[in-house]
Homo-oligomer: A and B are copies of this chain.
Amino acid sequence: MYRIGELAALYDIKADTLRFYEKHGLLSPSSRSDSGYRLYNQDDSERLKFILRAKAVGFSLNDIADLLSIEVDKSNRACAEVKGLVDTKLEQVEAKLAELQHFATSLKSLSNTCCGGPDSAEHCSILEALESSDQHIIAKKEQHHFSHSGHKD
């Protein structure tokens, strides 16, 4: 069992952030001490880890709440419904993955071809390195237009 300050220290965040997540329904301590102190267990800690990871890869707290709701509603919702939510998120994740892979490739080639020596800048720019680009998350309307992919409210 961790008290709020301990759990916060463990993940290098502020206790206030944990209270904030609680207020917004992302993570509540599994219990309280007699005097009302928040007490977090190992599952709570795992849940927090998930939240922080999801945040780190660009999901908003709302997105994360969606993902976590899959757990919360486990027993209530039809499995097909859950699958829908998961698959939607999966699409988002895979789009991000494709972008990131592209980024990584470009950064690597930039690092290798252009910056080997002390002064041999041939095409020292990410924009140039990315010029051979193909795929987008971004809906460039003229090229390809599919219906407004689910913006959240």
Which residues on A are within 8 Å of B, measured CB to CB? 9-12, 43, 46-47, 49-50, 52-54, 56-58, 67-68, 70-71, 74-75, 78-80, 82-83, 86-87, 89-90, 93-97, 99-104, 107-108, 110-111, 114-121, 124-128, 130-131, 133, 136-142, 145
Interface of A is mostly: helix
Q: How far is the CA of A126 from the CA of B133 in the complex (A)?
A: 33
Name the B residues within 8 Å of A79 (CB-CB): 114-121, 124
Ordered by A's residue number, 10 sampled pairs between the chains whose C-beta atoms are within 8 Å are: A10-B142, A46-B127, A49-B133, A70-B124, A74-B124, A79-B117, A79-B118, A79-B124, A80-B115, A82-B115
Contact of A125 among B74, B121, B124 (CB under 8 A): B74
Given contacts A119-B78, A140-B11, A141-B10, contact A107 B124 (CB under 8 A): no
Count of identical protomers in the assembly: 2
Q: Say whether A97 contacts B99, CB under 8 Å.
A: no
- Nearest opposing residue in chain B for A94, CB measure: B104
- Nearest opposing residue in chain B for A103, CB measure: B93
Q: How far is the CA of A72 from the CA of B127 in the complex (A)?
A: 10
Q: Say whether A9 contacts B141, CB under 8 Å.
A: yes
Q: Say whether A137 contacts B58, CB under 8 Å.
A: no
Task: Pick the 3 closest A-B CB pairs, nearest first.
Answer: A58-B58, A83-B115, A71-B125
Q: How far is the CA of A93 from the CA of B67 in the complex (A)?
A: 23
